[in-house]
Amino acid sequence: MARDPQVTDALRAKVRGELREVEEIRDPDLREKVIEVWALAIARSSFTSIGEIAPSGNPGVMTLKRGNQVDHLRGVARLAMGMADELTASFPELEVDRDIVIAGALCHDVGKPWEFDPENRKRWESNPRAAGLPSVRHPAYGAHLCFTVGLPEEVAHCATGHSGEGELIVRSLENTIVHHADHAFWNIMHAGDMIVPESVPGRKHVD
């Protein structure tokens, strides 16, 4: 596994404590890489933990009235596991890789520390025509981080294709579950009046 010198054991321990569903992953190598990719994402940002990141779908869009990104990631991971477990119980021939579902759900938004970083936002917003606004959205940046730490492409695919970007490609079975768990999270919270009204876009949420 590619280890970045910016990533400390203290940061790895913090990530492990925030994303408790990581312990459900059976493959120890995959488990460690999920922790590593989030630790790297945080180390390369202005944030010091996942819990510092606002609970939004996109910066300033679909913001929960309370909580943070940890609540979103854990919620999506548990919803995705629930979908996978329920459907494989009824249809055992459904070939779902449960480890990839969990890793994909936990990593789907691993690019958010980049896209939500206040310093990046300030730079992009000051001159959108220089490098774009944002220069790279979280799905693509997340896939970049996944490959950087040596996560399998099945997990990188969940990062890059859970969102609107996934409409341009064919989603894997596991990413289809992650994509619907992610949308279910935001749509159900919206229906339950758990989203700050001013942050709700005028169109159907796509991320």
Closest CB to Fe ion among residues 109, 115? 109
To Fe ion, the closest distance from the beta carbon of 47 in angstroms equals 16
Using CB under 5 A, count the residues that bind Fe ion.
2
Closest CB to Fe ion among residues 21, 109? 109
To Fe ion, the closest distance from the beta carbon of 69 in angstroms equals 8
By CB under 5 A, tell whether 109 contacts Fe ion.
Answer: yes
Contact 136, 93 (CB under 8 A): no
Closest CB to Fe ion among residues 25, 189? 189
By CB under 5 A, tell whether 182 contacts Fe ion.
Answer: yes
Closest CB to Fe ion among residues 120, 163? 163
By CB under 5 A, tell whether 115 contacts Fe ion.
Answer: no
By CB under 5 A, tell whether 36 contacts Fe ion.
Answer: no
Candidate segments 29-37, 120-128, 130-138, 180-188, binder of Fe ion by CB under 5 A: 180-188
Candidate segments 2-10, 21-29, 106-114, 138-146, binder of Fe ion by CB under 5 A: 106-114
Binding residues for Fe ion, rule: CB under 5 A, are 109, 182
